[in-house]
Amino acid sequence: MKKLRLWPQSLVGQIILLVAIGLFVAQAINFALLLRERNRVELTGQTAPAVYRVINALDARPDRGPDRGNEERDRDGGDRRNIRFSTTRPVLDGKARPDVESRAQAMFEDIGLTVHSVMAVEDSRIMPLRRWERIRSRATGEMPRDHRVGRLRLAVEYEPGKWVTAEARTGSRPARFGGWLIGQTLILYIIVLAPLLWVGRRMARPMKQLTGSAQQFARTGAADPVDERGPGDVRDLTMAFNAMRARIIAMLDEKDRMLGAIGHDLRTPLASLRVRTESVEDEGERARMSETIDEMNRMLEDILSLARAGRSTESPQKVDLAALADAVVEDFIELGSPVDMADSDRAVAFVRPQQIRRAVRNLIENAIVYGERAHVSVSHDAGMIRIAVADDGPGIAEDRMAEMLEPFTRLEGSRNRETGGAGLGLALVRAIMAEHQGELRLSNRPEGGLEASLVLPG
């Protein structure tokens, strides 16, 4: 099962996600500050009417004199229905509002009025319809409904043992705050992330092309130049890559020309030596000289093939690997070599057939030399094709498995040509597998012997 990745892997995706998270955190802080300020303003709006009535009532209380009392009553409109004075602590029914008490205490201090104690409770009751509400109900034809509103009652001890109680309405409809903030956040995300997404896509296109060209170069040793576009930094990177690509391709081409010249220059004297061996009268000596020349030719071919690995001129094509392996085995059987192949189903892959043929041949030769007999099989499972060559030899120590894949490394320590080649066979096979996006695997068999496997995508 594929693991779910919440964190994007691309650079542009990570930048956009980080900016989105930053905007979210900033909006969360902004929301907290606005909510705090809104609550403070709302608390002040609930508290202020009751505080205002208490102050007016204290300014107009009877013990301040008839003239001043009449003047303040006239200023207040003469409405004293919601004001009560008492000399005992009033009993207030409802939900206690300590926040209103604290805010009222602060408002009294702001205007320089010293009070001894403040109590605040809130309840709800049915209030008569106001005049404009009655007019609207008549105009619309709606039946008047109960008008339930909140009521805030504030009791203030302005002098020891003297209390004044005031009532005021509280708002019954919450402000539309959440929807406004959500809309603001969406607009902010659109304004910030849309240009960022456009810049990111503009930067990602040349980066993606650059990545594809680098991967193509790693697979084939050649790649098309990348278009120099995008932001300045990306263009500079593309220009540097194109220059590096051109330089490496020139070096590889020069290496191929040099290898071709070396191969030609070495094959000419080897051919001359072969001709001269014909003049040797001793038949045994002539045969040994011919074998040495053949071995030098094979070693030269292996060295040149290993040096050219990754830059093959052979075109890939669809090949039945089971049939290819069977043909290689038949060639060995015709030469009298101890090789057998298990029955295998059809296994088609997109490969360079001559390279795969050479890889299979190298493995079979190693199995015959070191393991006395080669057993070949081809299997197709889980999207992979496996060509296995097993032998009946002693196998390889586990700590030397990786070492045997290096060039010029032999299992038998001496350089005797009769006990093995130059140590290039497995290195060449590994290079061929790397060019095909495959793998060479070595493992010891439980029943004895070594199994070398070519694993290819199919």
Is residue 15 within a helix (H) or strand (E), and if so which, with residue range? helix 11-59
- Burial per residue of 371-401, b for 16 or more beta-carbon CB atoms within 10 angstroms, e otherwise: beebbbbbebeeeebbbbbbbbbebbeeeee
Nearest to 174 by CA among 276, 12, 46, 29: 46
Q: Are strands 439-444 and 450-457 parallel, antiparallel or unpaired?
A: antiparallel
Tokens standing for residue 186: 């969406």
**Longest alpha-carbon distance in the chain:** 155
Q: Domain count for the chain, please give it.
A: 2
Q: Measure the CA–CA gap between 89 and 158, rounded to whole angstroms.
A: 12
The residue from 125, 159, 175 where one domain ends is 175
29: in domain: yes
Nearest to 435 by CA among 162, 220, 177: 220
Q: Measure the CA–CA gap between 458 and 453, rounded to whole angstroms.
A: 15
286: in domain: no
Q: What pLDDT was estimated at residue 77?
A: 40
- The dihedral region occupied by 440, where left means phi > 0, alpha psi between -120 and 50, and beta the remainder, is beta
The residue from 175, 196, 224 where one domain ends is 175
Q: What pLDDT was estimated at residue 237?
A: 86
Q: What pLDDT was estimated at residue 322?
A: 92
369: in domain: yes
125: in domain: yes
Q: What is the pTM of this model?
A: 0.48
Q: What pLDDT was estimated at residue 408?
A: 58
Q: Measure the CA–CA gap between 209 and 108, rounded to whole angstroms.
A: 72
3-state secondary structure of 124: strand
Residues 420 and 412: beta-carbon distance below 8 Å = yes
User: In degrees, to the nearest 5, what angle opens at C-alpha 354 toward C-alphas 351 and 356?
Assistant: 55
336: in domain: yes
Distance of alpha carbon 173 from the chain centroid: 46
Q: What pLDDT was estimated at residue 414?
A: 42
CATH number for the domain spanning 391: value is: 3.30.565.10
Q: What pLDDT was estimated at residue 68?
A: 44
Q: Are strands 374-381 and 339-341 parallel, antiparallel or unpaired?
A: parallel
Residues 216 and 223: beta-carbon distance below 8 Å = yes
Is residue 314 within a helix (H) or strand (E), and if so which, with residue range? none
3-state secondary structure of 80: coil
Contacts of 350 (CB under 8 A, 6+ apart): 316, 317, 318, 319
User: In degrees, to the nearest 5, what angle opens at C-alpha 376 toward C-alphas 315 and 324?
Assistant: 25
Q: Which amino acid is at 363?
A: L
Q: Give the DSSP letter string of 258-272.
A: HHHHHHHHHHHHHHH
189: in domain: no
Residues 347 and 378: beta-carbon distance below 8 Å = yes
Does one domain contain both 171 and 319? Answer: no
Q: Measure the CA–CA gap between 354 and 341, rounded to whole angstroms.
A: 20
**Residue-by-residue pLDDT tens, the chain, 458 positions:** 444 466 777 777 778 788 888 888 888 888 888 888 888 888 888 888 889 888 888 887 766 554 444 444 444 443 455 788 888 888 888 888 888 889 898 998 888 888 888 999 988 765 565 666 667 666 665 655 555 567 888 999 988 889 999 988 776 555 555 677 778 778 888 888 888 888 777 777 888 888 888 877 776 667 778 888 877 778 888 888 888 888 888 887 777 777 777 776 777 777 777 777 877 778 888 788 887 877 777 777 766 666 666 556 677 889 999 999 999 999 999 989 999 999 888 889 988 888 899 889 989 988 898 888 999 999 988 889 999 999 988 888 887 777 777 765 666 544 444 545 556 678 788 888 888 888 899 999 888 889 999 999 87
Contacts of 439 (CB under 8 A, 6+ apart): 433, 454, 455
- Burial per residue of 114-130, b for 16 or more beta-carbon CB atoms within 10 angstroms, e otherwise: ebeebbbbbeeeeeeee
Q: Which amino acid is at 194?
A: A
Nearest to 431 by CA among 313, 308, 317, 297: 308
Structural domain boundaries, residue 404: 312-457
372: in domain: yes
Q: Measure the CA–CA gap between 452 and 458, rounded to whole angstroms.
A: 18
Residues 326 and 433: beta-carbon distance below 8 Å = no
63: in domain: yes
